[in-house]
Amino acid sequence: MLTPSASQQQPRFGSRISDAWTEISVVMRKVYLDHSATTPIDSRVLEAMLPYLTEKFGNASSVHMFGQEARAAVDKARRQVASLVGARANEVVFTSGGTEANNLAIRGICEVAKAHGRHVITSAIEHPSVRGVVDEIEKEGWEITRLPVYDNGIVRIDDLRAAIRSDTILISVMTANNEIGTNQPIAEIGALVVEEREHGHRHLCFHTDAVQAAGRLPIDVQALGCDLLSLSAHKIYAPKGTGALFIRRGVRLAPQQVGGHQERERRAGTESVANIVAFGTAAELAKKEMDQRNDHTRRLRDRFETEVEDRIPDIVFNGDREQRLPHLSNISFRFIEGEGLLIHLDMQGVAVSTGSACSSGTLEPSPVIRALGRNEELARGAIRFSFGKDSTDEDVDYAVTALLRAVESLRELSPLSRKSLVAN
């Protein structure tokens, strides 16, 4: 870690943290602020799943007592996950995660409904697991409309209404964005789809990726009017490797994984009983504790943003600051590469992200930030901070101090930053 010498010019905010350079190096702690990427397993969730990794090891498809014990556990978990989103238990299909759920929803509908049209509408800021499959079907001849989100990161209903055509068979718009946290007008989209069906557009379906929103926003699939909704366990304090797709009763879609009769023949493969049990327990806890968790993370997030805004110049907040998830903050730092800032923070024990964990490693600036109209500098300088139910005020204090130190160090090395300081 580089430290400025006495002869080097300090940025105008450097005087406020003159003692921080030595303080952090003396006492370093680990601060996890990447809960949108994944969450730690809740101890209560771990306790619930452990028996199904040891003595309750049966295959849920087996007819003997070991298998039926596992089947009962899966059925209970299905009811728990369904309750989180206001669905019926038999409308929930377990998958390997949110990515598979999104692929099953989009490809499954497109393959069944292609005789009625080959046009899909989505948004410009979808998760890579939606964006990727949409890009693939576009190569196969499907027409795709990607709705803009403007500077606040929110789809406009008028744009969607104008984009719907007689051959549109699917609308896929996420419930809340994974990078900037903006909440989309899902209930309004659902109402528009119902209206379209009433006017004869009966093959139109509506899918929403609720992976980031579930457990953080109240979700009722009946009120939202969606036909398909994707979920993932590891965003709500359960293990990675399990997700779910809500499929409204009566909606037909083509299975993407075949070779078995599991999940009512909508997704073949032996169920991961222990992980499904964990998902169910986590869903039940998320529903019960949602308000408490949201109040806690929102308070920490807002305090963090206030501190950063007050102490670091040349920053830009990304996305609407009201219509967003309560735990997430996305900030662009001018004159800095986000990857460099992430590394500096990691060296000080603070874990953050430059965007979606599913697109980490790419050298391209975030398409989500670019979709807001930000230039490449701001897109490359964007960092996502996401708080969790176990985050503390001490975590905020440490993270802010570490961030100040990292920004100061990187801007010392930036010729653009020095040019800006001279101009001011």
What are the DSSP calls for 12-75, one per residue? Answer: TTGGGGTTHHHHHHHS---EE-BTTT--PPPHHHHHHHGGGGTT----TT--SHHHHHHHHHHH
366 three-state secondary structure: coil
- Quote the distance between the C-alpha of residue 84 and its chain's center: 17
Residue 148 CB neighbours (<10 A): 13
More confident residue, 251 or 24: 251
Q: What is the DSSP letter of 114?
A: G
Beta bridge partners of 92: 246
SS3 assignment, position 63: coil
pLDDT at 361: 52
% of the chain surpassing 90 pLDDT? 87
Those residues with Cβ within 8 angstroms of residue 150's Cβ, 6 or more apart along the chain or in another chain: 156, 372, 373
Helix (H, G, I), strand (E, B) or coil at 171: strand
Closest CA to 365 of 324, 337, 340: 337
pLDDT given at position 221? 98
Question: What residue ranges of the chain are covered by domains with CATH 3.40.640.10?
Answer: 43-286
Choice between 338 and 24, residue whose per-residue pLDDT is larger? 338
Alpha-carbon distance of 135 to 157, in angstroms, equals 23
C-alpha neighbours within 13 Å on the C-beta side of residue 158: 0
What are the start and end residues of each CATH 3.90.1150.10 domain in the chain? 14-41+290-423
As a CATH number, domain 43-286 is 3.40.640.10
226 is catalytic: no
| pLDDT on residue 413 | 86
Amino acid at site 112: V
Q: Does position 96 have pLDDT exceeding 90, yes or no?
A: yes
Query: Do residues 77 and 273 make contact, with C-beta atoms less than 8 angstroms apart?
Result: no
Render pLDDT for 47-72 as a digit per residue (tens, 0 to 9).
999 999 999 999 999 999 999 999 99
Run of H or E residues at 93: strand 92-95
Q: Rounded mean pLDDT of 115-125? A: 97
Mean pLDDT over 361-378 rounds to 87
Distance CA 232, CA 99 (A): 8
Token pair recorded at residue 83: 């309750």
Q: What is the pLDDT of residue 10?
A: 42
pTM recorded for the entire structure: 0.91
Q: Mean pLDDT, the chain, as a whole number?
A: 91
pLDDT for res 265: 85
DSSP 3-state of 221:
helix
Instruction: Dump pLDDT digits (tens) for 173-225.
Output: 999 999 999 999 999 999 999 999 999 999 999 999 999 999 999 999 999 99
Question: DSSP 3-state assignment of 174?
Answer: coil
Give yes or no for residue 1 having a pLDDT over 70: no
Catalytic residue among 110, 205, 226, 358: 358
Look up residue 208 and give its DSSP letter: E
Is 360 a residue whose pLDDT tops 90?
Answer: no
Sign of CA dihedral 177, 183, 187, 190: negative
Q: Quickly state the pLDDT bin for 28 (edges 50, 70, 90).
A: confident
Comparing CA positions, the residue from 32, 34, 83, 41 lying closest to residue 236 is 41
Give me the pLDDT at residue 2, please: 38
Cα–Cα distance between 200 and 202 in angstroms, integer?
5
Starting from the edge strand earliest in sequence, which strands make up the sheet with 328-333, in order? 315-317, 328-333, 382-386
| Enclosing H/E stretch for 131 | helix 128-139
**Region 280-298: what's the mean pLDDT?**
98
CATH number of 14-41+290-423: 3.90.1150.10, 3.40.50.1360, 3.30.565.10, 3.40.120.10?
3.90.1150.10
Is the per-residue pLDDT at 331 higher than 60? yes
Q: Is the pLDDT of residue 424 over 50?
A: no
Angle at 398 between CA 2 and CA 324, to 5 degrees: 110
